[in-house]
Amino acid sequence: MGDPETEPPRAALRALIPGRDFIASRKGQLLLAEWVVSFLTFICYIVSTAVSLMTVPLIEFLWALFTFFAYSTKLNEQLKGILWPLLDFIRCVSAAIIYFVVSLVAVSKYSCAASKAAAVLGFIATIVFAIDFYIIFNDLIKFLKKGGSEEEEPQRQKSDGECY
């Protein structure tokens, strides 16, 4: 029962489970919603006649799952060479656009109920991804304004000091 060989894998597995604080956060909830909606859309496309459109939700599901894992395990803080907010912004913008186009194709071209359900879920995914990229965009603007004002202040002090 107290075998030391069985306890380290439990600790390692617990490190992979996201904490409650991340799941309760806005970003955690959006990422969770993105991969759940993407997975459901993927399932609907598999059982429909629009099976050729299943690639989009599959890729977005895997990408959202990786992003969820990266943020929940704080991998984004360990890998400093990647601009995570910009990568996340590009992921959300591209997903929203692609989901919208694929959902329009599914609604207009296919008539089975599963493809219609997949299209509706695709439109919901478009909204979820759009909300996420809107929030990321606002955070990026705040970050850039904050960074820009801090960089301009020392330059103004130098020029003021040089004039006197």
Asked whether residue 85 is domain-assigned, the answer is yes
Report if residue 3 sits inside a domain: no
148 in any annotated domain: yes
Cβ atoms of 28 and 135 within 8 Å: the answer is no
Q: Would residue 29 count as lying in a domain?
A: yes
Examine residue 4 and state whether it is found in any structural domain, yes or no. Answer: no
What total of structural domains would you count in the chain?
Answer: 1
The CB density around residue 72, as the number of other CB atoms within 10 Å, is 21
Q: 86 burial class (0-12, 13-18, 19+ CB within 10 angstroms)? A: exposed
* SS3 of 56-82: HHHHHHHHHHHHHHHHHCCHHHHCCCC
Residue 70 falls inside a structural domain: yes
Helix axis angle, 84-109 to 26-47, nearest 10°: 30
What is the residue range of 155's domain? 18-163
Does residue 65 sit within a domain? yes
Full-model pTM: 0.75
pLDDT tens-digit profile, the chain (164 residues): 555 555 565 555 555 566 677 778 888 899 899 989 999 999 999 998 888 888 989 999 999 888 888 888 888 788 887 778 888 899 999 999 999 999 999 999 998 999 999 999 999 999 999 999 999 999 888 878 887 554 444 444 444 544 44
* Contact partners, residue 93, CB within 8 Å, separation at least 6: 129, 133
**Would residue 7 count as lying in a domain?**
no
What is the rounded distance in angstroms from the CA atom of residue 162 to the CA atom of residue 159? 5
